[in-house]
Amino acid sequence: MVVREAGLIFRGFTLVKKTFHKTDKGKIDIDLRSGLLDAIISFAETAFAESSIEYFLMKKLIIVFTKEQIKSNDGIELESLTSYAILDREKKIEKYIHKIIQPLLKNVVNEFISLNMGKNLSEVSQFRDFKNNLDDIYGSDTKTVEQKLKGVFS
């Protein structure tokens, strides 16, 4: 299992995104995609109030989510901050999602909140260095089998 991309979404915009392996063949508007993902998650939570959405299964990929609350300096209330990871779709992935990916997503969102609670979250450029945190948190889960073997035998 390989994490291809990870990031954070706030108010429908990407605050931080790290691509470990390409997930598409063309140019995709990141904010358009983030807005759509945020809208789908909000719709699912509103329509099916008893449970939140954990992941989407697509033909070749899985997008896993976790949400927490953060306060921006321009808001009065706490607002949703979504951490996501895009993975290759494989059989019997449920256990991997719950035991490995969701705890990593929670680590990402909690670390981001601890560093940025109460800040101006609309100035996205200030979060560029947080990509290094994504590298540290996801670690070897972003490497393909070939990359892991190469590292062992190098």
The ranges assigned to domains in the chain are 3-153
- Amino acid 143: pLDDT: 61
Instruction: Using the CB atoms, write b or e for 60-96: b if 16+ within 10 Å.
Output: eebbbbbbbebbbeeeeeeebbbbbbbbeeeeebeeb
- Amino acid 54: pLDDT: 86
To the nearest 10 degrees (0 to 180), the angle between helices 102-116 and 130-138 is 150
Candidates 3.40.50, 3.90.660, 3.30.70, 3.30.450; correct CATH number of 3-153?
Answer: 3.30.450
- Amino acid 50: pLDDT: 60
Give the pLDDT confidence of 65-79 residue by residue, as tens digits.
Answer: 999 999 999 988 999
Average pLDDT of the residues of the chain: 85
Rounded to whole angstroms, the Cα distance separating 1 from 76 reads 40
**Angle value at C-alpha 105, between 30 and 58, nearest 5 degrees:** 55
Q: What is the mean pLDDT of residues 97-104?
A: 92
- Amino acid 141: pLDDT: 59
- Amino acid 26: pLDDT: 65
**pLDDT at residue 23 is higher than 70:** no
pLDDT range class, residue 148, cuts 50, 70, 90: very low
Rounded to whole angstroms, the Cα distance separating 12 from 66 reads 14
Is residue 133 classed as helix, strand or coil in its secondary structure?
Answer: helix
